[in-house]
């Protein structure tokens, strides 16, 4: 889609009828995820099942004229045949999903250590956070279980790998803690982060691997150091529970979404609040009973860092341009819970309470040279380092996103 156009529904995937129902099962799609190389899509389709689907989708799902680019599709098919859809039976309701970063030598060592009889292959990993506090680690290409991580005492709500490829995994749980795991050391738990007073809903690691953001059923957001695993600061500004958070691709911005119907854009280095994006109802309710009808469920940055997507309880997917205060596009979606962008742009995936996944067109835009330079510089310069540069004030304001 072009900037300003409404998102179009490209495809909708629905779970098959489960073999049996029991009291432990639920049908919500709490998490959706693309692998960082864009070659796989995973969704928790309810009833303890995770579906792993090769990307791009098979032709019968995609309208003519649309092509989803996958940087590694040729690599996947070379010598091994086309990758096949996988069904992972996790045995418990699945709440959180996270793919490991690009396949790396340490991941191959992990595979070889636990499966010496299997040929050494490039190993992409999927972590699943479960209802009983367990975390199961799967090898994507084969669908085999690699590790089972124990430590949490309640639902593992969210998971995040360090983008550097070091196979450090962060988990967020209803037991009010975050835990740090090293998959290169047999899944050893290396740290427990305490301080939240409510369930932890979300965790996000900055792309430069320096910071960890965690959001719980509280009005404040916690920022932690990924180097020392200590609390850097609390971000105060929301009026209700914060449920979702995400860093910009250059680590210079942090967005948080709350039940208070607002998204706040922060400078994570200074703690300053840069912008508030209010979710106004398009159709006001007939009475005052639905005071939280625009409560936020999910927020995410686009891969080039120029757009945001949000999912709210008012049955709308919104797309926001970084420098505008109102949405540039809407799409109707019922019972939305989560959203994520395709790593190479052009597509947004959303999950619903019904166990469905929907794929929508997202803005395709050629980044300006100014933005590309800002993104490159901010990938290794903090706000304070930018402010110390001997450059004009207006340039500093642009580089620190103060030109809104």
* Range picked from 3-12, 362-371, 384-393 for highest mean pLDDT: 384-393
Whether 77 is covered by a domain: the verdict is no
Could you tell me which residue, 234 or 364, shows the higher pLDDT? 234
Closest to 9 measured CA to CA, from 20, 1, 17 = 1
Place of tokens 């686009």: 302
Whether 66 is covered by a domain: the verdict is no
Give the separation between CA 257 and CA 46, rounded to whole angstroms: 24
8 Å CB contact between 317 and 308? no
pLDDT of residue 25: 47
Kindly state the average pLDDT of the residues 1-15: 78
Same domain, 344 and 399: no
Contacts of 324 (CB under 8 A, 6+ apart): none
pLDDT of residue 191: 94
Same domain, 389 and 240: no
Kindly state the average pLDDT of the residues 153-166: 92
* pLDDT at 173 > cutoff 80: yes
Residue-wise pLDDT tens digits, 19-57: 555 444 477 888 899 999 999 999 898 788 899 999 988
* Range picked from 17-21, 115-119, 359-363 for highest mean pLDDT: 359-363
Could you tell me which residue, 112 or 35, shows the higher pLDDT? 35
Give the separation between CA 326 and CA 318, rounded to whole angstroms: 9
Whether 114 is covered by a domain: the verdict is no
Angle at 150 between CA 215 and CA 142, to 5 degrees: 95
* pLDDT at 115 > cutoff 90: no
Domain residue limits at 395:
368-403
Same domain, 239 and 265: yes
CATH code of the domain containing 268 = 2.130.10.10
HEC profile for the chain? CCCCCCCCEEEEECCCCCCCCCCCCCCCCCCEEECCCCCEEEEEEECCEEEEEECCCCHHHCCCCCCCCCCCHHHHHCCCCCCCCEEEECCCCEEEEEECCCCCHHHHHHHHHHCCCCCCCCCCEEEEEECCCCEEEEECCCCEEEEEECCCCCCEEEEEECCCCCCEEEEEECCCCEEEEEHHHCCEEEEEECCCCCCEEEEEECCCCCEEEEEECCCCEEEEECCCCCEEEEECCCCCCEEEEEECCCCCCEEEEECCCEEEEECCCCCCEEEEEECCCCCCCCCCCCCCCCCEEEEEECCCCCEEEEEECCCEEEEEECCCCCCCEEEECCCEEEEEECCCCCEEEEEECCCCEEEEECCCCCCCHHHHHHHHHHCCCCHHHHHCCCCCHHHHHHHCCCCC
A 10 A CB-CB count for 114 gives 16
Give the separation between CA 399 and CA 252, rounded to whole angstroms: 9
Region for 192 from its dihedrals, namely left if φ exceeds 0, alpha if ψ lies in -120 to 50, beta otherwise: beta
Number of domains into which the chain is organized = 2
Give the separation between CA 280 and CA 284, rounded to whole angstroms: 9
Same domain, 287 and 393: no
Same domain, 39 and 146: yes
Same domain, 345 and 375: no
Same domain, 209 and 302: yes
Same domain, 334 and 186: yes
Tell the burial category of 25 from Cβ atoms under 10 Å away from its Cβ (0-12, 13-18, 19+).
middle
Give the separation between CA 309 and CA 221, rounded to whole angstroms: 20
Same domain, 243 and 385: no
* pLDDT at 116 > cutoff 70: no
pLDDT of residue 66: 47
Same domain, 158 and 43: yes
A 10 A CB-CB count for 173 gives 26
Give the separation between CA 247 and CA 101, rounded to whole angstroms: 16
Whether 324 is covered by a domain: the verdict is yes
Question: Against a cut of 0.85, is the pTM above it?
Answer: yes
Residue-wise pLDDT tens digits, 268-295: 999 999 999 988 766 554 444 444 567 8
Same domain, 240 and 166: yes
8 Å CB contact between 186 and 202? no
Same domain, 349 and 382: no
Whether 267 is covered by a domain: the verdict is yes
Could you tell me which residue, 9 or 211, shows the higher pLDDT? 211
Whether 70 is covered by a domain: the verdict is no
Residue-wise pLDDT tens digits, 207-238: 999 999 999 988 999 999 999 999 999 999 99
Whether 62 is covered by a domain: the verdict is no
Whether 109 is covered by a domain: the verdict is no
């Amino acid at each position: 889609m072009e900037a300003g156009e409404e998102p179009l529904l490209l495809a909708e995937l629905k779970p098959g009828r489960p073999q049996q129902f029991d009291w432990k099962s639920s049908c919500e799609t709490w998490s959706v995820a693309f692998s960082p190389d864009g070659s796989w899509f995973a969704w928790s389709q309810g009833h303890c099942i995770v579906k792993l689907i090769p990307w791009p989708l098979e032709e019968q799902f995609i309208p003519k004229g649309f092509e989803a680019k996958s940087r590694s599709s040729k690599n996947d098919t070379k010598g091994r045949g086309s990758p096949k859809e996988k069904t992972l039976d996790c045995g418990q309701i699945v709440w959180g999903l996270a793919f490991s970063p690009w396949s790396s030598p340490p991941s191959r060592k992990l595979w070889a250590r636990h499966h010496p009889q299997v040929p050494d292959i490039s190993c992409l990993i999927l972590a699943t956070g479960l209802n009983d506090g367990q975390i199961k680690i799967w090898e994507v290409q084969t669908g085999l279980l690699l590790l089972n991580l124990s430590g949490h005492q309640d639902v593992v709500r969210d998971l995040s790998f360090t983008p550097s490829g070091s196979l450090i995994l962060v988990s967020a749980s209803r037991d009010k803690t975050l835990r740090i795991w090293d998959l290169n050391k047999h899944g050893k738990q290396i740290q427990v982060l305490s301080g939240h007073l409510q369930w932890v809903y979300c965790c996000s690691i900055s792309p430069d691997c320096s910071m960890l953001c965690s959001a719980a059923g509280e009005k404040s957001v916690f920022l932690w150091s990924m180097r020392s695993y200590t609390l850097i600061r609390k971000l105060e500004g929301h009026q209700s529970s914060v449920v979702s958070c995400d860093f910009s691709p250059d680590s210079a911005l942090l967005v948080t979404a709350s039940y208070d119907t607002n998204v706040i854009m922060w400078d994570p280095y200074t703690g300053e609040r840069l912008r508030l994006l209010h979710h106004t109802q398009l159709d006001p309710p007939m009475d005052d009973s639905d005071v939280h009808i625009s409560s936020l469920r999910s927020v995410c940055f686009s891969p080039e860092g120029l757009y945001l997507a949000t999912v709210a309880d008012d049955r709308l997917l919104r797309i926001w341009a970084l420098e505008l205060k109102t949405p540039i596009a809407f799409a109707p979606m019922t019972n939305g819970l989560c959203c994520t962008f395709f790593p190479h742009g052009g597509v947004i995936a959303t999950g619903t309470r019904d166990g469905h996944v929907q794929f929508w067109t997202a803005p395709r835009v050629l980044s300006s040279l100014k933005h590309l330079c800002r993104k490159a510089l901010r990938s290794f310069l903090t706000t304070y380092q930018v402010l110390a540069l001997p450059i004009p004030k207006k340039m500093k304001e642009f580089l620190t996103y103060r030109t809104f």
